[in-house]
A and B are shown apart, each in its own frame.
Chain A
Amino acid sequence: MDHLENAPNDPIIVCEDVHKWFDDFHVLKGITTSFQKGEKAVICGPSGSGKSTFIRTLNRLEEHQRGTIIVDGVELSDDLRNINLIRQEVGMVFQQFNLFPHLTNLQNITLGPIRVRKMTKSEAEEIALSLLERVDIVDQAYKYPSEISGGQQQRVAIARALAMEPKIMLFDEPTSALDPEMITEVLDVMRELARSGMTMLVVTHEMGFAREVADRILFFDEGAIVEDAAPANFFDNPQHERTKLFISQTLQH
């Protein structure tokens, strides 16, 4: 893990021996890792390996049962105030977009800033429009999510998360529900976001994106991190047998 030695030691997320069970099923088996400010980490692994569950514990959409998670200096516990504080700092983008269908795209974006950040409507709309500009769909502002394509919906979802001005962005398989021709437009937005210096944790199967954008790739298998390396090492010199198999399988297509 030589890349970490070069990074400034200023972790924004620290996980210490994180365990999670779904009833009897041990999903996360002691995850210990940390992420630096501005770091772009791609998390991959076979389905059922716990990678999605892991990033969902980071804003407590899933509770962990053992170990500690500290995000931006605040420990995730049962304290509701802490959770809502952290959720304001951590934006999340979902596989199924999860836009609010009864609100226009613009209202989807302004809701958080108005109700949580207590911005005025005009301030929030100004920010929302500039974000829609940034994700290149400002002309869809007054349509409803059901009236635009999947790729456009996912870009609105990214703008919605960014409107809260988060310090960290979590992406949970953001392109897995998209038709192939729409994947690029979403990945382009994410590349741009990465260049702007955002701290990003991305669960994805897009290995091209990982190689290009990531500072670091974590490979999950059966609830544990089995490989944690810079992209060059990860792809060209994987240490673990399971990783080798995964890479050979994913790079075939």
Chain B
Amino acid sequence: MKILSWLKDNLFSTWYNTLLTVLALGFVYFLSKGILVWAFTDANWDVIPANLQLFSVGAYPRSEIWRVWVVLYTVCALLGLSGGIWGGLPFRFAIGIGSVGFVCALLPLFEWATRGWIFGNVALLGAFLVLGVNVRGLVSKMRPWILGAWLLSFPWTLIMLRGFGENSVLTTNWGGLLLTLILAAVGIVFCFPLGVLLALGRRSSFPAVKWVSTAYIELVRGVPLITILFMAQIMIPIFMPNVRLDKVLRAMLGITFFSAAYMAENVRGGLQAIPKGQYEAAHALGLNYPLTTLFIILPQALRSVIPAIVGQFIALFKDTSLVTIVGLLDLLGIAKTVIANPDWLGLQAEVYLFVAVIYFVFSYSMSYVSQKIETALGVGKT
């Protein structure tokens, strides 16, 4: 009865609401029927498992694929350790990743060797999680070391994937989800501090710092990301023929410098919301500019703009797909090559849907984590 009265109140309260409800239900029915019928009868999903390796790592040579696994193992170990030591949100995050990995290893999506590797990953993550929980109380000041290890994991990843000598893997062979994730991770981790510095610079009382920061932000925001990627790929070699920068590195720089400008504006929004009294109270205690900024202003400013910052991260993650245009084969670029393969002609819908789902899973995860962080920090409460 409760359901009936709810339906009556909310969906069928007047004749036009009834009409709208019926029309909307009809629309949803035909749309979902069309999609489901297509997905279970017409669609040829073989294209996905057959090209899974391409989607994952692109043209990365099969004989060197162990490098990717080493990187994944490093990340899983760090994740487990952090989750164990921090507890709370990182702990649940590690558990979540571990569960996803475990399910992937159980399902017959991948070949046996791959499932073994994934299972090993999950086991390592679990082991380090337990280790982390146990050393939490024993060793004080572990956290800075873990953060340092996370930072070091970036050069480690790049060196590991690239390799040395005759077995080295040129970055032009990096592709698929691997490339997308590397570009996004580097972009996110480096655009953030750069953006904070630019935001502080724009509010600086030193005219030179202020004008340089403002000019940078406005210039970069006035240009599309594609233009910056083209500049990085095509103009730099023309203007500076002696500088030979790696192609992927140039894409990383382009994405990082582009996002930093937007990040700066987000952070500046947070800085402007800090009342003058906070600066005065900090100064009255004898805190100088760096101490005031670090301990009073930034913690409050960043906390209030977490939604905007995460929005920027998600945008950056999706924007990495633009590197296709300068000839890098990220997840979307690989999708295009798969579609162009004569063996899989006419399967655009399947491939693009698959790629869309992957982008969604990562974007939504970021959004979800940010919501949890907001709750944990009490954003919105005064």
Binary interface profile of A, 224-245, with partner B (CB < 8 Å = 1, else 0)?
A: 0000000000000000000000
Contact A59 B284 (CB under 8 A): yes
Contact B286 A98 (CB under 8 A): no
- Which parts of A66-121 form the interface with B (CB within 8 Å)? 80, 84-85, 87-88, 90-92, 94, 96, 98-102, 111-112, 115-116
Q: How many Å lie between the Cα of A160 and that of B296 in the bound state?
A: 14
Contact A91 B284 (CB under 8 A): yes
Taking the complex as formed, is A61 at the interface, i.e. its CB lies under 8 A from any CB of chain B?
yes
Contact A94 B277 (CB under 8 A): yes
Indicate which residue in B286, B288, B296, B303 contacts A100 across the interface (CB closer than 8 Å): B296
For A, the interface residue count at a CB cutoff of 8 angstroms equals 26
Taking the complex as formed, is B92 at the interface, i.e. its CB lies under 8 A from any CB of chain A?
no
How many A-B residue contacts, CB cutoff 8 Å? 62
Indicate which residue in A94, A99, A101, A164 contacts B286 across the interface (CB closer than 8 Å): A164
Q: How many Å lie between the Cα of A88 and that of B280 in the bound state?
A: 13
Residues of A within 8 A of B243 (CB): none
Q: How many Å lie between the Cα of A98 and that of B275 in the bound state?
A: 9
Taking the complex as formed, is A203 at the interface, i.e. its CB lies under 8 A from any CB of chain B?
no
Taking the complex as formed, is A146 at the interface, i.e. its CB lies under 8 A from any CB of chain B?
yes
**Closest Cβ–Cβ distance, residue A178 to chain B (whole Å):** 16
Contact A164 B285 (CB under 8 A): yes
Cβ-closest chain B residue relative to A115: B291
Contact A84 B295 (CB under 8 A): no
Taking the complex as formed, is B381 at the interface, i.e. its CB lies under 8 A from any CB of chain A?
yes
Q: How many Å lie between the Cα of A96 and that of B279 in the bound state?
A: 13
Residues of A within 8 A of B291 (CB): 115-116
**Closest Cβ–Cβ distance, residue A219 to chain B (whole Å):** 25
Taking the complex as formed, is A159 at the interface, i.e. its CB lies under 8 A from any CB of chain B?
no
Cβ-closest chain B residue relative to A85: B286
Indicate whether A99 sits within 8 Å of B281 (C-beta atoms), given known contacts A111-B295, A115-B295, A146-B382: yes
- Most chain A CB atoms below 10 A, which of B285, B287, B295: B285
Cβ-closest chain A residue relative to B282: A100
Taking the complex as formed, is A161 at the interface, i.e. its CB lies under 8 A from any CB of chain B?
yes
New A-B contacts (12) at CB < 8 Å, excluding given A61-B280, A98-B275: A61-B283, A88-B285, A92-B281, A94-B280, A96-B277, A98-B280, A102-B299, A102-B300, A111-B287, A115-B291, A116-B287, A146-B382
* 6 closest residue pairs by CB, A with B: A98-B281, A98-B277, A88-B286, A112-B285, A92-B284, A87-B286
Could you list which residues of chain A lie within 8 angstroms of chain B, going by C-beta atoms? 59, 61, 80, 84-85, 87-88, 90-92, 94, 96, 98-102, 111-112, 115-116, 146, 157, 160-161, 164
